[in-house]
Structure 1
Amino acid sequence: MTRYIRHAAAFCALLLIALLVNATRVQVVQSDALDDNPANRRGAIVRFDQPRGDIVVDGRAVTGSKDTGEQLRYERTYKNGPLYAPVTGFASQVYGTTFLENAEDDILSGTDPMLAPLPLWNDITRAQNPGGKVVTTIKSAAQQAAYAGLGGKKGAVAAIEPSTGKILALVSTPSYDPERLSGTSKSVADSWAELNSSAAKPMLNRAIRQTYPPGSTFKVVTAAAALDAGVVTDLDAATRSPNPYTLPGTSTQLTNEVDGCTNASLRYAFQWSCNTVFAKLGVDTGLSDMAGTARNFGFNDSGLKIPSSVAASNFDTSMDKAQLALSAIGQYDTRATPLQMAMVSAAVANGGSVKSPYLVDRTTTRDGDVVDTTGTKSLRQAMNPATAMQLREMMTDVVEEGTGKNAAIPGATVGGKTGTAQHGIDNSGTPYAWFVSWAQAADAGEPAVAVAVVVEDASADRGDISGGGSAAPIAKAVMEAALKP
């Protein structure tokens, strides 16, 4: 009898060991795979079982959470959803997250370990932290001015504080309400299908994810390269610039939309946007110096994050002289996001120093205790400080006496550059209207804001001055809002 008891006990021990081994296999070895299994809804249930933390603009939350009583309990809500969609993105039970909702998801969902009261506290207690807050750098008045200025036209605005890199406005139109994608009902699926099939592409963040030919606004970069390289040493000296200008190695002639460009000085050519002068200036400066200056401004950088990723702006590093001439006036394959062109303007305003743009000032717990802050960081020196001063002078001339008069603000110093970018087969598309600028209050020691505006469907003329007519008034409104305390 004793032998049978020993055998039974041994068998039971083997079963217990097998059970423990299997439990270890499931809970340790296979835990990640099981957590990631689409059929496992526990993670989603836990994730949406508490309110999501808020995204904050000027001290006020522009997001919220609604208790539905459903299994995925809390749905995301948005205040002025279309206005802030390029900043917040969406948080959907079905379609995931984008932009700040994605980049700061750990803070907003409460899963960031830095939200815990003590190290390893959540691992021990298995508790879930309340969602934290993401405090943005956006200035609501500037955001509203940009949105109202675009008025539903296809386009975008980016505004930066030059000395810090803080993003003061980030607008893309036409926009959409992210709240339409909250929840699990059929209406959410219908909204997703409608938004994705729309020819207007309302969910495309044109400010940071769309690149455009920058047209004559790129002449800021070309002028910086030429001045730094010593190709031009006197802003008022005549240049050897024929009109029309035959692109090197071709029979194609480049012309101007304004008079007086033959052998014009750099100051005059910049003020009235002479294509012939700048095309030849790019060739004279050379590909190496042009590409190097473009890189220093931020072109060809695929790693920029704000913290959402930004599409890389492009300046080709392998071109013949004819292509370089076109690139020097913002055509050929040169492409830029509105944020990149705001960085160009900000560098001029900030003595040539390019600050890393950022959208999140700080993250906090639900109670307001700071978790992390974003400090000012220099990316590169785009040009010599003396060159930046010369460009500030020329950009001021554009607004006071040239093509950018519509951006002038009484009592403030404003610098700008207009641009019209042709595109499409044989340049048949409606030209994009551009304006880049910066503004400094009369009693301030440095410029407070740099802006880039692009309007896709401006019905603009093909002349360089059209950016001044369509985009400059929008930039003016944004700068005025940014200058107010």
Structure 2
Amino acid sequence: MTRHIRYAAYFCVLLLAALLVNAARVQVVQSPAYDDNPANRRATIARYGQPRGNILVGGRPVTGSRDSGEQLRYERTYVDGPLYAPVTGFASQEYGRTLLEATEDGVLSGSDPLLAPLPLLSDLTRARAAGGDVVTTLDREAQRAAYEGLAGRKGAVAAVDPSTGRVLALVSSPSYDPGELSGNGAGAARAWARLNADPDKPMLNRAVRQTYPPGSTFKVVTAAAALDAGVIRNLDARTRSPAPYRLPGTTTRLDNEGDGCRDAPLREAFQWSCNTVFAKLGVDVGVARMGATAEAFGFNDAGLRIPFAVAPSTFDTTVDKAQLALSSIGQYNTRATPLQMAMVAAAVAEGGQLRTPYLVERTTRRSGSTVAAAGPRPARQVVQPSTARKLRQLMEDVVREGTGRKAAVPGATVGGKTGTAQHGVGNSGLPYAWFVSWAQADRDMEPKVAVAVVVEDASADRGDITGGGVAAPIARAVMEAVLDP
């Protein structure tokens, strides 16, 4: 009898060992397969089982959470959704996440290990910490001024602080309400279909994901290359620039919008945006130096993130001389995002130094304690300080007595450059209106804001679309919002 009991005990131990081995196999070896199985809704239920952390602008949340009472309990809500959509993106139970809702999802959802007070215990229990908050660099008043300035017209605005790289405004128009996509019901599906079918593409972030021909605003880069290379030494010396200018190796003649551009000094050519002068300057500088200067400003950089990805602005370095002439006035293959052109203006304002732009100041726990902070951004020297000083003079002249006078701000020094970019087959498309600028209040020691505005505005009369007439007033409103104490 004792022997049978012993055999039974051995058999029970064997069964117990088999159960433990099988449990380990299921929980350790096969865990990833179960986690990724579409039928496993535990992770999804846990994600939406608690309120999501918030995205803050000016110390106030522009997001929230609503208790739906459903199995996926909490849905995302937005305050002034269309105003901040180019920054927040959307967090949808059905369609995923975009922009800050995507890049900062670990903090917002509570899954980031840094949020857990006792990480080892959290790993064992798989408990999810409360969602943390994301504090942005945005200036509330500047963001609203940009949004209201566009007034629903197709276009975008980007504004940065030249001395730090902080993104102060990021607006795309037309916009949309990301709250319409938050749930998983029929309403969200209808909104998704409507937004994707809209020919105006309201979900396209034109400030960072759309590139445009920058037109005459690119002449800031061309002037910088010419000054750095020593092709131009005196802003007031006559240039050898015929008008019209025959593109090298072709019979095509390039003209100007106005008169007085033949052999115009750089100061006058910049002030009145003479195409012939800058096209020839680009050829004189050469593709290598033009390309190097454009890339120093940030063109051809596919790795820029703020923290979500920014579409690369491009300057083609494989062009012939005729193509280089057109590229040097912001046409041909030259393309730029509004954020890139704000970076160009910021580098000029900051004495030739450029700081990488960023949008997240810090992330915090629900209690307010800091999880991670942005810290100072390193600066790189884009152009010589002497070149930057001359560029500042040129941009100030544009606002004081040139094509950008509508950007003038009382009590401040403002520099700017207008642009009217042609596009479409045979330049048949309605031109884009551009304006890039920076501003320094008389009481400040350094410029506080650099802005880029582009307006597509297909409803306007073609003759009325100029950077100075359409885009400059929007830039002025943004600059005033930042400079106003």
- Give TM-score scaled by structure 2 length: 0.97
What amino acid maps onto 1:193 in structure 2?
A
The CA deviation at 1:183 is 1.0
| Superposed CA offset, 1:341-373 (max 9, x none) | 000000000011110101111111111111111
8 A Cα contact 1:227 1:387, kept in partner: yes
State the partner residue of 1:183. 183
Separation in structure 1 between the aligned mates of residue 375 and residue 464 of structure 2, nearest angstrom: 38
Q: Distance in 2 between matches of 1:6 and 1:123?
A: 40
Q: Aligned-pair distance for 1:465?
A: 7.9
Give the whole-Å Cα distance in 2 for the aligned partners of 1:378 and 1:116. Answer: 31
Question: For 1:109-258, what aligned pairs fall within 5 Å after superposition?
Answer: 109-258=109-258
Aligned to 2:341: 341
**Aligned partner letter, 2:32:** D
Partners of 2:460 and 2:266 lie apart in 1 by: 25
Question: What is residue 34 of structure 1 aligned with on the other side?
Answer: 34
CA–CA distance in structure 2, aligned partners of residues 321 and 426 of structure 1: 20
**Alignment check: 8 A CA contact 1:434 1:453 kept:** yes
Structure 1 Cα separation of the partners of residues 187 and 245 of structure 2: 58
Deviations 1:55-75 (A, max 9, x none): 111111100000111100000
Q: Is the 8 A contact 2:181 2:188 kept in 1?
A: yes
Map 1:372-387 to 2 at 5 A.
372-387=372-387
1:441 matched to 2:456? The reply is no
Distance 2:402 2:460 in 1: 18
1:324-343 deviation line (CA, Å, top 9, x unaligned): 10100000110000000000
Seen in structure 2, the aligned counterparts of structure 1 residues 464 and 302 have a Cα distance that, compared at 3 Å, is farther
Give, in whole Å, the separation in 2 of the partners of 1:7 and 1:431. Answer: 91
Matched, 1:468 2:472: no
Contact kept, 8 Å, 2:364 with 2:372, in 1: the verdict is yes
Q: Which amino acid aligns with 1:282?
A: G
Q: Does the 8 Å CA contact 1:420/1:434 hold for their aligned counterparts?
A: yes
Distance 2:474 2:425 in 1: 29
Cα distance change, pair 264–464 in 1 and its aligned pair in 2 (3 A): farther
Cα distance in structure 2, aligned partners of 1:457 and 1:371? 42
User: Contact 2:432–2:465 at 8 Å: present in 1 too?
Assistant: no
Structure 2, gaps ≥5 residues long:
none
Distance in structure 2 (CA, Å) of the matches to 1:453 and 1:64: 30
Q: 1:149, 1:477 within 8 Å by CA — same for their partners in 2?
A: yes
Q: Distance in 1 between matches of 2:438 and 2:429?
A: 29
The question of whether the paired residues in 2 share the 8 Å contact of 1:150 and 1:156 is answered with yes
C-alpha displacement of 1:248: 0.7
Separation (CA, whole Å) in 1 of partners of 2:37 and 2:247: 59
Q: Structure 1 residues 21-30 or 4-13, which shifts more?
A: 4-13
What's the counterpart of residue 267 of structure 1?
267
Q: CA deviation at 1:4?
A: 5.1
Q: Describe the superposition over 1:91-112 as per-residue Cα deviations: whole angstroms up to 9, x where unpaired.
A: 1111111111111111111111
The residue matched to 1:398 in structure 2 has which SS?
Answer: helix
Q: What secondary structure sits across from 1:362 in the alignment?
A: strand
The AA in structure 2 aligned to 1:347 is: A
How far residue 427 of structure 1 moved from its aligned partner, in angstroms, is 0.8
**Unpaired segments of 5 or more residues in structure 1?**
none
Query: Among the aligned pairs, what percent are the same residue?
Result: 71
- For these two proteins, the number of residue pairs brought into alignment is 485
Q: Distance in 1 between matches of 2:264 and 2:463?
A: 18
Q: Distance in 1 between matches of 2:378 and 2:277?
A: 32
Summarize the Cα distance change of 1:34–1:125 in structure 2 as closer, same or farther, 3 Å threshold: closer
Q: Would you say 1:319 and 2:319 are equivalent positions?
A: yes
What is residue 292 of structure 1 aligned with on the other side?
Answer: 292
Deviation of residue 388 (structure 1)? 0.5
The within-5 A match list for 1:9-88 is 9-88=9-88
| Residue 3 of structure 1: how far off its partner (Å) | 5.6
C-alpha distance in structure 2 between counterparts of 1:349 and 1:42, whole Å: 52
User: CA shift at 1:121, angstroms?
Assistant: 3.5
Q: CA deviation at 1:377?
A: 1.4
Native 8 Å contact 2:89 2:99 kept in 1: yes
Partners of 1:431 and 1:461 within 8 A in 2: no
Distance in 1 separating the partners of 2:34 and 2:290: 53
Most deviating of 454-463 and 123-132: 454-463
Paired residues for 1:309-458 under 5 Å: 309-457=309-457
